[in-house]
């Protein structure tokens, strides 16, 4: 029975990465990481700058070769170590499109090289441009568009051919909050239509709205690999209290508080206190009443951003 379940689980896996490593000169960019994605996942691949995210994505796409490890793609019913280009969409971190060529021509070309018929690509491109309020600029050269609009075009280029698997490296970069929210909806929509998403982003508040799985990488190593719910389960049970004072305070005055794990001095007058999950908050609040000059006090569970910071800091130590 157990065996049958395992086989079923393996069947659903459309990307399986095992013990992947890559180094450049003396830098170990990726160090023995493993993860897998199942059909329908929105997999958040997170990590600080230089953690090894982009290197991993480039290896997955066969742009660079790994030193060791195994990659198994299973998108078109066949197991393959190389990505089937026609089934993959890629939004690179370093943006790049032909600036001196009309938007529509670039989009049709990029879809064509991934196997889409030019006529179908043109129709689909115009539909997406319409949705992103850029239809009237389809014949303009890309250089005439703002950075945010260029990002929209880049996004369209990565999903126009309706890929089974889309790698989106920093898709929210350069977008205003309104468009960031719109992108969230677009990503959810293409995911519902059958595209599995591997997402790398720094905007944790946006990531936690859409991802169902999280992989946290730091210095090339796995820090967390599991479901989004799991990361809250494992690291999100602590208590965070934000305090705002009328006059500057120092960190050391909080050392006497019971259950205190860490103090984050946000500004001269603002601190963020983290307490263990067993801490009695009533007791803490009673102790805080002895502090003078508190103008505001709020308490919450750590969000993904705070968990991310905490895990990265802990891993560095």
Which residues here bind other proteins, judged by CB under 8 A? 58, 61, 63-65, 83, 85-86, 88, 90, 92, 94-99, 101, 109-110, 112-115, 157
42 or 121: whose CB is closer to other proteins?
121
- Least separation, in Å, of the C-beta of 62 and other proteins? 8
Q: Tell me the helices (H) and strands (E) count for the chain, helix number first.
A: 10, 13
- Least separation, in Å, of the C-beta of 12 and other proteins? 24
H or E element, residue 284: helix 281-288
Taking the C-alpha atoms of residue 301 and residue 275, their distance in angstroms, rounded to an integer, is 10
Ramachandran category for residue 36: left, alpha or beta (phi over 0 → left; psi -120 to 50 → alpha): beta
- Tell me the HSE value of 210 on the side-chain side, using a 13 A CA sphere: 32
Whole-angstrom CA distances from 127 to 38, 89, 144, 228 are: 29, 18, 20, 33
Taking the C-alpha atoms of residue 152 and residue 183, their distance in angstroms, rounded to an integer, is 9
Sequence-distant (≥ 6) Cβ neighbours of residue 153 within 8 angstroms: 97, 103, 106, 107, 134, 142, 145
61 or 184: whose CB is closer to other proteins?
61
- Least separation, in Å, of the C-beta of 171 and other proteins? 14
65 or 192: whose CB is closer to other proteins?
65
- Least separation, in Å, of the C-beta of 141 and other proteins? 13
- Least separation, in Å, of the C-beta of 270 and other proteins? 39
Ramachandran category for residue 174: left, alpha or beta (phi over 0 → left; psi -120 to 50 → alpha): left
- Least separation, in Å, of the C-beta of 204 and other proteins? 25
114 or 239: whose CB is closer to other proteins?
114
190 or 273: whose CB is closer to other proteins?
190
88 or 199: whose CB is closer to other proteins?
88
């Amino acid at each position: 029975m157990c065996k049958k379940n395992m086989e079923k689980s393996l069947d659903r896996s459309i990307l399986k990465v095992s013990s992947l490593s890559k180094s450049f000169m003396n830098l170990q960019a990726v160090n023995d990481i493993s993860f897998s994605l199942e059909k329908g996942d929105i997999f958040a691949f997170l990590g600080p700058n230089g953690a090894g995210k982009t290197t991993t994505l480039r290896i997955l796409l066969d742009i660079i070769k790994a030193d060791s490890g195994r990659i198994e793609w299973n998108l078109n019913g066949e197991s393959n170590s190389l990505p089937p280009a026609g089934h993959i969409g890629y939004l690179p971190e370093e943006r790049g499109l032909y600036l001196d060529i009309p938007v529509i021509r670039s989009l049709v070309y990029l879809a064509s090289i991934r196997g889409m018929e030019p006529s179908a690509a043109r129709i689909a491109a115009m539909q997406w441009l319409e949705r992103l309020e850029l239809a009237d600029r389809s014949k303009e050269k890309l250089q005439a568009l703002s950075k945010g609009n260029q990002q929209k075009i880049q996004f369209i280029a990565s999903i126009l051919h309706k890929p089974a698997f889309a790698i989106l490296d920093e898709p929210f970069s350069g977008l205003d909050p309104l468009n960031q929210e719109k992108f969230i909806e677009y990503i959810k929509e293409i995911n519902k239509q059958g595209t599995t998403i591997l997402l790398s982003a720094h905007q944790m508040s946006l990531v936690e709205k859409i991802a169902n799985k999280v992989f946290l990488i730091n210095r090339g190593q796995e820090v967390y690999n599991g479901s989004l719910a799991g990361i809250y389960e494992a690291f999100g049970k602590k208590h965070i209290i934000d305090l705002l004072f009328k006059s500057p305070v120092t960190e050391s005055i909080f050392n006497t508080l019971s259950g205190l794990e860490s103090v984050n001095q946000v500004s001269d007058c603002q601190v963020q206190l983290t307490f263990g999950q067993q801490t009695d908050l009533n007791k803490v609040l009673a102790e805080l009443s002895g502090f003078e000059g508190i103008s505001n006090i709020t308490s919450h569970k750590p969000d993904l951003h705070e968990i991310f910071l905490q895990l990265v800091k802990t891993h560095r130590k």
